[in-house]
Amino acid sequence: MSRSGTLADTFEEYERALMADDLPTLDRLFAPGPDTLRGDADGLLAGHDAIRDFRELRGGAPARTVVATHVRMVGDDTALVVAVTELERGGRGLQTQLWVRDGADWKVSAAHVSTPPPALDRRIWRVVGDPLVATQGPGVLDGHSVAVKDLYAVAGHRIGAGNPQWLESAGVEKEHAWVVDRLLSAGATVAGIARTDEFAYSLRGANAHYGAPPNPRAPHRVPGGSSSGSASAVSLGHATIGLGTDTGGSIRVPAAYQGLYGIRTTHGAVPLTGVLGLAPSFDTVGWLTRDAHLLGTVGEALLPPAAPNGDNRLLVSPALLAAARPDVAAAAVAFLDGVEHMTVDWDLSELPAWLAAFQTLQAAEAWQLHGTWLGTRLDTLGADVRSRFERASRITEEQAAEARVRVRAARDRIRDLVGDSVLVLPSASSVAPLLADSDEDVRTSTMRLTCLAGLAGLPAVSIPVRTAAGLPAGVCLVAAAGRDRDLLRLAAELPRPDGRG
């Protein structure tokens, strides 16, 4: 109707289409081509098609009314329109649009949208305070704040484990988890309780109930999990320390996807008292930070004392580099170009079998821990975690026992290979997948890399690198059991490879 209407008509048509989530009209009113821009608090999208994909995934904009409009004509064929909106749910928004006339039709060439933030971002947080728990310091962590993964006990709060039904049935914790208590004593505050993938049984960070926390450096991509909320909280500066756990990569993967530093500690080195487990043979405490120095300072508060031990010779296995996507492998190679290292020619033909053993034992232990509760509640889980627990429920005792034997053999073999040196490998096989892309192969490919430290109970530090396209990725340093502090020192000494301050 208003295809050749005035700017005012077209602006109104746009508002109506937005409120009706009329995607064909919105697509038509945005200029075609790769230069069209649309940005909001979650990031900037470039290109008509990327904007269309975003709209399809979004499922409608919040209901609103335009309460003030400022139109600035720039020549005959271009206009800037700045509009104040009032949201039905409360608060005011702002949008700035550059409209350009394309023949007879006005189209949006660039748009910038602000809406008032919610009280808290429920994708990241379950509860948050200023702070939530005051420090018991002073100590080495003075002035720092912790996003606590919702698997750790915080006195006075429940453990939610990423599942609303579990949260509802959970009792209030009387004492802090050992690690939380230690961090508070070292001078840190608890900022809040951060989201996790359900029962930590995912590497994606897209909780079905609360949504995927944002990934600021890789907009519209998954944040990585399962320590997803802790990682995003650190990326956004909501906290300086993201406390998480790592069973099969739950620290290393969000670190890589978001460009953070992260450590998975030696299995058994840091007490898991007060932490809801997933697979005790592999579960470890871990944390994420935005810089290597702080990653080490947290280690001072949590790790047992240990003198420097072994050497810091970096070992690189081409087979492990090749297990990552080319962009991530190239970023790892670029990192290695700047540091002395030795290439090793390991036989890793058993890797698929090791991964299978890891996944079988992980699943068997997860079902042993949670099967009683989940037995009648599998339908409370998101699809991917549910399918994993369903498979877990069918693992026989024989299969679990066999997996345990294979895990032990793999552990011994991997410990032999790493020896007193430092293995360097990609932290995850790819950059963060797009939110719209839910390919299960990503998990398998990444776990082929992450399972090594998991199987052998070794400490692993993920260091942020960047791909040629500028997306975050990670390289991982793995060393002998107990060498956590050596890895932390090494990470702080290495030149920062992602070029950030």
- Report the catalytic residues: 149, 226, 250
Q: Which two tokens stand for residue 246?
A: 């790592």
> Applying CB under 8 A, what is the total number of residues that bind its own copies?
67
Instruction: Rule CB under 8 A: say whether 121 interacts with its own copies.
Output: yes
Minimum distance of its own copies from residue 197's CB (angstroms): 17
- Which of 89, 293, 313, 391 is in the footprint of its own copies by CB under 8 A? 89
Instruction: Rule CB under 8 A: say whether 472 interacts with its own copies.
Output: no
Binding segment for its own copies among 10-18, 35-43, 271-279, 404-412 (CB under 8 A)? 35-43
Element (H, E) at 76: none
144 CB burial (10 A radius; 0-12, 13-18, 19+): buried
CA distances from residue 450 to 9, 193, 256, 361, 398 in whole angstroms, order as listed? 56, 26, 12, 15, 25
Strand locations in 420-471 (E): 422-426, 460-466
Minimum distance of its own copies from residue 221's CB (angstroms): 13
Element (H, E) at 378: none
Residue 233 vs 270, nearer CB to its own copies: 233
CA distances from residue 463 to 210, 298, 339, 355, 421 in whole angstroms, order as listed? 28, 16, 14, 23, 17
Instruction: Rule CB under 8 A: say whether 61 interacts with its own copies.
Output: no
Positions in 180-219 near its own copies (CB under 8 A): 191-192, 210, 216-217, 219
Instruction: Rule CB under 8 A: say whether 110 interacts with its own copies.
Output: yes
What distance in Å separates the CA atoms of residue 498 and residue 465, rounded to the nearest whole number? 4
3-state DSSP of 220-287: CECCCCCCHHHHHHHHCCCCCEEEEEECCCCCHHHHHHHCCEEEECCCCCCCCCCECCCCCCCCEEEE
- Which of 24, 34, 59, 90 is in the footprint of its own copies by CB under 8 A? 90
Binding segment for its own copies among 95-103, 338-346, 374-382, 448-456 (CB under 8 A)? 95-103
Instruction: Rule CB under 8 A: say whether 165 interacts with its own copies.
Output: no
- Which of 32, 33, 118, 138 is in the footprint of its own copies by CB under 8 A? 118
Binding segment for its own copies among 48-56, 73-81, 275-283, 405-413 (CB under 8 A)? 73-81
Instruction: Name the nearest CA neighbour of 407 among 247, 269, 256, 297.
Output: 247
- Which of 12, 15, 23, 114 is in the footprint of its own copies by CB under 8 A? 114
- Which of 18, 108, 234, 314 is in the footprint of its own copies by CB under 8 A? 234
Positions in 294-353 near its own copies (CB under 8 A): none
Minimum distance of its own copies from residue 46's CB (angstroms): 7
Residue 111 vs 369, nearer CB to its own copies: 111
Instruction: Rule CB under 8 A: say whether 134 interacts with its own copies.
Output: yes
Q: DSSP label at 501?
A: -
Minimum distance of its own copies from residue 37's CB (angstroms): 5
Minimum distance of its own copies from residue 242's CB (angstroms): 11
Instruction: Rule CB under 8 A: say whether 290 interacts with its own copies.
Output: yes
Minimum distance of its own copies from residue 76's CB (angstroms): 10
Instruction: Rule CB under 8 A: say whether 237 interacts with its own copies.
Output: yes
The answer to whether residues 303 and 409 touch, using CB atoms and an 8 Å cutoff, is no
Instruction: Rule CB under 8 A: say whether 66 interacts with its own copies.
Output: no
Element (H, E) at 362: helix 351-374
Which residue has 């058994």 as its token pair? 268
Minimum distance of its own copies from residue 32's CB (angstroms): 15
Instruction: Rule CB under 8 A: say whether 411 interacts with its own copies.
Output: no
What distance in Å separates the CA atoms of residue 440 and residue 385, rounded to the nearest whole number? 12
What's CA 105's distance to the chain center, in Å? Answer: 42
Minimum distance of its own copies from residue 184's CB (angstroms): 15
Residue 10 vs 258, nearer CB to its own copies: 258
Q: In this structure, are strands 189-194 and 105-114 parallel, antiparallel, or unpaired?
A: unpaired
What distance in Å separates the CA atoms of residue 377 and residue 166, rounded to the nearest whole number? 10
Residue 195 vs 406, nearer CB to its own copies: 195
Minimum distance of its own copies from residue 328's CB (angstroms): 20
What lies within 8 Å, CB to CB, of 437 at 6+ separation is: none
Instruction: Rule CB under 8 A: say whether 35 interacts with its own copies.
Output: yes
Positions in 241-280 near its own copies (CB under 8 A): none
Element (H, E) at 149: strand 145-149
Scored b (16 or more CB within 10 A) or e, 282-315 reads: bbbbbbbbbbbebbbbbbebbbeeeeeeeebebb
What lies within 8 Å, CB to CB, of 117 at 6+ separation is: 41
Q: Which two tokens stand for residue 471?
A: 């997306």
Instruction: Rule CB under 8 A: say whether 117 interacts with its own copies.
Output: yes
Q: Which two tokens stand for residue 285?
A: 């405490």
Q: Which chain residues interact with its own copies by CB under 8 A?
A: 35, 37, 39-41, 43-44, 46, 68, 70, 72, 74-75, 78, 80, 82, 84, 86-92, 94, 96, 98, 100, 109-110, 112, 114, 116-122, 124-130, 132, 134, 156-157, 168, 172, 191-192, 210, 216-217, 219, 233-239, 290, 501
